[in-house]
């Protein structure tokens, strides 16, 4: 299933069927590869500590180097290279990104993920956060390997929206990106409040890791709503955030737990999160309804359990 929204065309990645590799980038210190006579090689060290040399043309090598320079790598961060290769070991697709995770922490998450494009967007979004305590919070969430391997692999629901492996991650990213785009249009809202809203949107369904499995609901999920687990799953990172930025931690907890039935949200950005959640859900249902219909079909019926939904579209 394709994502409904992508953060930008630059970040959009259409992964094909080529062989994929992920590992630390470069074995030449600050140099990612070597260039001579119209061809280049980029090096990658995988999870088994094996070094792979990947052939790229000069244009692609230049793009990789430009991306490297834009990352401004810090001493606490590792540089990662993901590539998709053809039969001749030539790069078809690539992504260069940084993270405070070690390869031993990152690789199980990568293996559990059904769509690397979504995983890359997750890391890129977190590293783009300008508010340092909030970025530290999100990084700490990523460091929980058990939590993240489930978060990136399970569906967002069993028979409703994004009901496919990896659906929860895709839905979470859609909510975060749509929230980001909406709050950016609000002139009187601070960057701090905007970014808290984006992070709240990203992790608003994190409790589903306790209630959903790949095939069926968990025993807890049959008894308890996923929203009851939200703060519990984020407890340790929230405690750390509380130490460095108390007001931000309190605002994040409020936005993660606020319901429209409680009345007007105290933060205007909370409305953007709910709107993004509804839009992502509706768009997923629309995709489900029309996925097997030809373009000239303007009407579709979607059955979910005992309920029927009728949807229209214009082409």
**Could you tell me if residue 311 is inside a domain?**
no
Residues 122, 75, single domain; the answer is no
What lies within 8 Å, CB to CB, of 195 at 6+ separation is: 129, 130, 131, 134
pLDDT at 33: 56
| Residue indicated by tokens 């320079």 | 69
Q: How many domains are contained in the chain?
A: 2
Report which of 72, 69, 97 is spatially closest to residue 83, judged by C-alpha positions: 97
Fill in the DSSP letter of residue 294.
-
Helical ranges in 72-215 per DSSP H: 103-112, 116-127, 132-142, 145-151, 167-183, 191-202
CA distance from start to end of the chain: 20
Residues in CB range of 219: below 8 A, 6 or more apart:
none
Boundary (domain end) residue, out of 99, 130, 160: 99
Output the six-digit token pair for 227. Answer: 């929203």
pLDDT at 5: 54
Closest CA to 191 of 245, 121, 269: 269
Instruction: Please give the structure tokens belonging to residue 19.
Output: 């062989």
Domain with 201, as residue range(s), is 103-284
| Shared domain check, 268 and 213 | yes
Q: Is 149 within the bounds of a domain?
A: yes
pLDDT in tens, the chain (315 residues): 556 555 444 455 555 567 899 999 975 434 555 555 567 888 899 999 999 988 888 888 889 989 999 999 999 999 999 999 988 888 889 999 999 999 999 999 999 999 999 999 999 999 999 999 999 999 999 999 999 999 999 998 887 888 889 999 999 999 999 999 999 999 999 999 999 999 999 999 999 998 877 777 777 767 888 788 899 999 999 999 999 999 999 999 999 999 999 999 999 999 999 999 999 988 888 888 788 888 888 888 887 777 787 888 988
223 and 114, same structural domain?
yes
Could you tell me how far CA 208 lies from the centroid of its own chain? 15
Are 57 and 146 members of one domain?
no
The answer on 173 and 36 residing in a single domain is no
CA distance 202 to 196: 10
Domain boundary, last residue among 83, 99, 115: 99
> Can you give the CATH number for the domain in which 124 is found?
1.10.3210
Is there a domain that residue 52 lies in? yes
User: Residue 156: CB partners within 8 Å, gap ≥ 6?
Assistant: 162, 163, 167, 168, 170, 171, 172, 205, 208, 212, 284
Q: Domain holding 38: CATH number?
A: 2.40.50
Residues 108 and 248 both lie in one domain? yes
The residue among 157, 161, 201, 164 whose CA lies nearest residue 180 is 201
Quick check: is 12 in a domain?
no
Beta carbons of 24 and 45 less than 8 angstroms apart: yes
- 156 with 276, same domain: the answer is yes
Q: Which of 69, 84, 99 is the last residue of a domain?
A: 99
Smallest CA-to-CA distance from 116 within 137, 147, 95 is with 95
243 located within any domain:
yes
Does residue 9 lie in a domain region? no
pLDDT at 215 (0 to 100): 73
243 and 259 part of one domain: yes
Residues 110 and 81 in one domain: no
């Amino acid at each position: 299933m394709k994502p409904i929204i992508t953060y930008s065309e630059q970040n959009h990645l259409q992964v094909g069927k080529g062989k994929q590799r992920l590992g630390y980038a470069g074995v030449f210190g600050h140099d990612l590869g070597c260039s001579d006579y119209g061809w280049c090689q980029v090096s990658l060290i995988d999870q088994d500590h094996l070094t792979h040399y990947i052939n790229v043309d000069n244009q692609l090598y230049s793009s990789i180097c430009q991306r490297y320079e834009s990352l401004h790598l810090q001493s606490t961060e590792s540089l990662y290279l993901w590539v998709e290769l053809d039969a001749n070991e030539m790069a078809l697709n690539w992504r260069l990104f940084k993270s405070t995770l070690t390869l031993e922490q990152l690789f199980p998450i990568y293996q559990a993920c059904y769509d690397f494009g979504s995983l890359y967007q997750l890391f890129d979004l977190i590293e783009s956060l300008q508010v340092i305590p909030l970025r530290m919070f999100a990084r700490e969430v990523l460091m929980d390997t058990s939590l993240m391997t489930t978060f990136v692999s399970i569906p967002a629901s069993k028979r409703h929206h994004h009901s496919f492996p990896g659906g929860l991650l895709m839905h979470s990213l859609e909510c975060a990106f749509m929230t980001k785009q909406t709050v950016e249009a609000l002139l009187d809202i601070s960057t701090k409040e905007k970014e808290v809203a984006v992070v709240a949107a990203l992790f608003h369904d994190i409790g589903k890791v306790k209630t959903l499995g790949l095939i069926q609901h968990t025993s807890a999920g049959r008894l308890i709503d996923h929203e009851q687990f939200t703060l519990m799953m984020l407890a340790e990172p929230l405690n750390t955030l509380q130490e460095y930025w108390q007001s931000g931690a309190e605002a994040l907890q409020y936005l993660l737990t606020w319901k429209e039935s409680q009345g007007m949200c105290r933060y205007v950005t909370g409305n953007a999160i709910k709107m993004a959640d509804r839009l992502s859900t509706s768009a997923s249902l629309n995709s489900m309804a029309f996925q097997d219909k030809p373009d000239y079909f303007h009407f579709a019926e979607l059955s979910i359990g005992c309920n029927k939904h009728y949807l229209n579209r214009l082409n």
